[in-house]
Amino acid sequence: MSASRPRPIGLLTATVALLRKDLLIEWRTRARLNAIIFFALATLLMFSFALGPDTKLLEKNAGGYFWLAILFASVLALGESFRVESENACMDGLRLAPADARAIFLSKALGNTLLLTALGTLLVPVMVALYGVSIVTSGVDLGLILLLGCLALSAPGTVYAAISSNARARDVLLPLLLFPLVIPALLSAAKATTLVLQGDPMNQFGSWAGLLGGFNLIYWSVGFLLFPRIIED
């Protein structure tokens, strides 16, 4: 009598289960969260110290410094996202599970998005206090750009983190692959954030937000389609 095959798990069910697993691990250890928070805060402080008492320049470029801090901290978050699966052949177990491999991409990318969005939320009041800026247009606009920007970093970042997870120099390889790719998203997020902080008399916010949305559509689709091939041996 032949053994019955395990029943396939739906994409949504598998994604939720894997995301819950990653969030529980993160909450119990909080090592990655603490590391990226302190790193991002140090980055904002270094920009403030480097420019000295020139408050006008700090106010003018606050949006760019804010997103550079998130970008640099994202390397730590993304690089650690596959470390658990790289140990004890956990990735092999996930590949053998009766579930779509794309659920791994969705769970990791969504988990990274939540982590970076939480980081950005914590950095906003720090940016306001350090750089002397204020939210001129709407807090909703800032929240939208923060979410879109973190989504834009997480999708290609998760793909490249999976590619570099088995490399010897993965800590060096990941930023080399990621930084050139996310330049359009970083510029769009920084410009839109600057408009929120300094005003938008020319109504340019929608164009930058649309560019970020298009970037997300492309790279989330590419990552979703190609991820099963990426994690193959």
Output b/e per residue, 171-181; b: 16+ Cβ within 10 A: eebbbebbeeb
Residue 2 counted as domain residue: no
Q: What is the pLDDT of residue 169?
A: 72
Residue 66 counted as domain residue: yes
Residue 111 counted as domain residue: yes
What the block records as the tokens of 46 is 């270094």
Each of the 233 residues of the chain gets a pLDDT tens digit; together they read 444 555 566 788 888 888 898 888 888 877 778 888 999 999 999 988 887 776 788 888 889 999 999 999 999 888 887 777 766 666 666 666 666 788 889 999 999 999 999 999 999 999 988 888 888 877 889 999 999 999 999 999 999 988 887 777 777 888 898 999 999 999 999 999 999 988 888 888 999 999 999 999 999 999 999 988 887 75
Residue 13 counted as domain residue: no
Cβ-contact 152, 215 below 8 angstroms: yes
Q: What is the pLDDT of residue 211?
A: 94
| Closest to 54 in 3D by CA, of 130, 126, 123 | 130
Quote the strand ranges of 164-230, DSSP E.
none
What is the residue range of 200's domain? 30-230
Which residue carries 């779509």 as its tokens? 100
DSSP state of 182: T
What the block records as the tokens of 214 is 């298009």
Q: Which amino acid is at 170?
A: R
Mind giving me the DSSP string for 43-93?
A: HHHHHHHHHTT-HHHHHHTHHHHHHHHHHHHHHHHHHHTTHHHHGGGHHHH
The pTM assigned to this predicted structure is 0.89
What the block records as the tokens of 189 is 């997020």
Q: What is the pLDDT of residue 188?
A: 94
Q: What is the pLDDT of residue 95?
A: 67
Residue 126 counted as domain residue: yes
Residue 58 counted as domain residue: yes
Q: How far is CA 75 from CA 32, 98, 113, 171, 172, in A?
A: 11, 31, 13, 8, 10
Q: Which amino acid is at 6?
A: P
Q: What is the pLDDT of residue 5?
A: 52
- The angle, 0 to 180 degrees and rounded to 10, between the axes of the packed helices 170-181 and 183-198 is 60
**Based on the structure, what is the number of domains in the chain?**
1
Residue 175 counted as domain residue: yes
Number of Cβ atoms within 10 Å of the Cβ of 70: 25
Residue 36 counted as domain residue: yes
Largest CA distance in the chain: 79
Q: What is the pLDDT of residue 32?
A: 77
Q: What is the pLDDT of residue 228?
A: 84
Whole-angstrom Cα distance, residue 67 to residue 63?
A: 6
